[in-house]
Amino acid sequence: MTMMRWRSTTLTVIFSLSLALILGACGGGGTNNPPATPNSLTQPTAESGTSVVATSEIPTSTPVVGTATGEALPTGTLILAQLNQFVAQLPGGRSLNLAEDRIGTLGSPDGRYGIRYAVNGSTVNLVLVDYSQTPPTTKDIPSGDGMSSPTVTWRADSLGFAFADIPMPDQTGRAKKTIYQFDLAGGQSRELVNESANANAYPVPIAYSPDSRYLIYILNNAGAESSASVAANQAVLLDVSAGTKTPLPEATTIGFSGWLKDGSGYLVVNYSAEGVAQLARYNLNALQSPTTLTPAGASDRLIALSPDGKFVVIASDPVGQNPGATNIYRMGIDGANRQQLTQFSDTTQTITGLAWGADGIYYSLYAGADQDTVYRMDLDGKNATQVAQGTLQGIVGLR
């Protein structure tokens, strides 16, 4: 990743980290591509609940209970990018065009809420949208007004989120320099981090631990002189209840790729000067002694954890003068028992998305067509079947 000045660095980190488990560009493919199945493609409706023909029928898991009204997205919904539109392909045969307030970190993990940026002159205000109601209801977020370029990070249980402002260079003087947490139960916001006494520091929330005990955030230094300075920014671990802060290793700042499901640590992708990507595991009780999970001769890029947190799947490139195709591998969260699941050999094909669903492993491929194709395969790599069109962004309820 090329580091830019502080503003660009922040945006690069935020965008890349919010999608780190399911997006990225890695070459690869195969002449043994999954068999294509006929697709009756129709434009999905706007988010109004109108039933349409789905792009295909997909295996489903149990929908979320208690969200039958409105258009809350049930567990197992595929989130796809189709050309210039984001689409939700719901279990059971419907597709919806998604509003921008439900894409990426703005949408709650359970598929019920979205966060809207309401323009107010030269600033924006945060608005919570509840899609389980018909029509969807909205609520202004306390302390979420007058922002320049806000960023949002949801808790895994969808009961609240952290937010902060990333001011434009000409608006740094009025930035709040605060990370707030909004709690749905009480409808109020409270301060988690306040850096108002630090002239050049702007805190940005990155990811809650699965139990919401911890929040990783990055303290960005607006006064950094070097465009390639990693030291200008510092990743910090916040104990949300106790308020204690622990500086995290430098690699966390630019390579954080997601929490372990039990909250004992997190994964980082480290890039060498040659562009080789290595996956490392950091345990909270031994932060200075990470474990490298990527074997020699491989470059691991896209990563997705299993729902139980015991395994990880990776889109991996072979390293060498004559690089081969990217393939998907599965291994234990400790790096043991690494197994190749796909047998791709076409180096012109690209794996563009990867997610571990409740019923198998999902991935999207680009092979020079107008748009990507999404496949589902069993945990051993067998029975690959086309299930959707578009670039896979994620699966609702399985972040």
Please say whether the beta carbons of 193 and 181 come within 8 A: no
User: Is residue 269 in some structural domain?
Assistant: yes
User: Is residue 277 in some structural domain?
Assistant: yes
List Cα–Cα distances, 185 to 78, 101, 160, 309, 350, in angstroms. 28, 21, 8, 28, 43
pLDDT in the model for residue 193: 96
User: Is residue 82 in some structural domain?
Assistant: yes
By CB atoms closer than 10 A (0-12, 13-18, 19+), residue 275 is exposed
Alpha-carbon distance of 347 to 340, in angstroms, equals 16
pLDDT in the model for residue 50: 28
This prediction's pTM: 0.80
pLDDT in the model for residue 148: 87
User: Is residue 253 in some structural domain?
Assistant: yes
User: Is residue 1 in some structural domain?
Assistant: no
pLDDT in the model for residue 289: 96
The parent domain of residue 73 ranges over 6-395
pLDDT in tens, the chain (399 residues): 222 222 222 233 333 333 332 223 233 333 333 333 223 233 333 333 322 222 333 333 333 333 334 689 999 999 999 888 899 999 976 899 998 899 889 999 999 999 999 998 888 999 999 999 888 999 999 999 999 889 999 999 999 999 999 876 666 666 678 999 999 999 999 999 999 888 778 899 999 999 999 999 999 876 554 444 434 789 999 999 999 999 999 999 989 999 999 999 999 999 998 889 999 999 999 999 999 999 999 999 999 999 999 999 999 999 976 778 999 999 999 999 999 999 999 988 999 999 999 999 999 999 876 779 999 999 999 999 999 999 999 999 876
pLDDT in the model for residue 224: 53
For residue 162, the cross-strand partners are 153, 181
Domains in the chain: how many in total? 1
- Residue partners of 39: CB distance under 8 A and separation at least 6: 55, 56, 386, 389
pLDDT in the model for residue 288: 95
Alpha-carbon distance of 206 to 18, in angstroms, equals 8
By CB atoms closer than 10 A (0-12, 13-18, 19+), residue 272 is exposed
CATH of the domain at 384: 2.130.10.120
Please confirm whether the linkage preceding 38 is cis (ω < 30° from 0). no
Please say whether the beta carbons of 171 and 164 come within 8 A: no
pLDDT in the model for residue 170: 63
User: Is residue 124 in some structural domain?
Assistant: yes
Both tokens of 27, joined, read 């070459």
pLDDT in the model for residue 172: 61
